[in-house]
Amino acid sequence: MQCSIDWSLARALVFALALGPICAMAQSADQPKPMALRGIMLQLDSDMNAVNGAISQKDWQTVAELAPRIANHAEPPILEKVKILAWLNIDAPKFRGFDVKAKDDAAAMGDAAKKGDGQAVVADYAKIQQSCLGCHEQFRQKFIDHFYGG
């Protein structure tokens, strides 16, 4: 079997693993420090809620402005990404798949909004939600257990 992990990734991984305990010591003992991903999720949630409100108003221009924020959402810093990838292991493509799908559907929602096609906007919005839910159902609890648990 061929193991084709590239060296810069491997070095980043070792660095992350070495730094982990040091960062853990620096944190307060009771409350684990929130992952950057959590802040990104809160922003996604707020943008999705804003889209929902704009749909109710048939305000397609606002939807068109919000959609790229979802399609191009922020990413965690490299160290956190490496930790998450190391934890996901062989499930990494599945996890990433949900994210890519959500981004693609958000881009499509933006295009539909620019055309004023309300039905397509609503359909794309539902597709994005399926990716949010799909990833949460499959990974969120395990993620929390791993990164915030004992």
Name the residues that contact ligand HEC, by CB under 6 A.
Answer: 34-35, 37-38, 41-42, 44-45, 48, 70, 95, 98-99, 102, 128, 131-132, 135-136, 139-140, 143-144
Backbone dihedral angles phi then psi of residue 28, each to the nearest 5 degrees: -65, 150
Q: Specify the residue, 8 or 89, whose C-beta has the smaller distance to ligand HEC.
A: 89
Q: Specify the residue, 81 or 114, whose C-beta has the smaller distance to ligand HEC.
A: 81
Closest distance to ligand HEC from the beta carbon of 116 (Å): 23
Closest distance to ligand HEC from the beta carbon of 20 (Å): 16
Closest distance to ligand HEC from the beta carbon of 131 (Å): 5
Closest distance to ligand HEC from the beta carbon of 37 (Å): 5
Angle formed by the axes of helices 60-71 and 36-56, to 10°? 160
In three-state secondary structure terms, 74 is coil
How many Cβ atoms sit within 10 Å of the Cβ of residue 23?
A: 11
Q: Specify the residue, 35 or 120, whose C-beta has the smaller distance to ligand HEC.
A: 35
DSSP 48-73: HHHHHHHHHTT-HHHHHHHHHHHHT-
Say if residue 138 is exposed, middle or buried (CB neighbours under 10 Å; 0-12, 13-18, 19+). Answer: middle
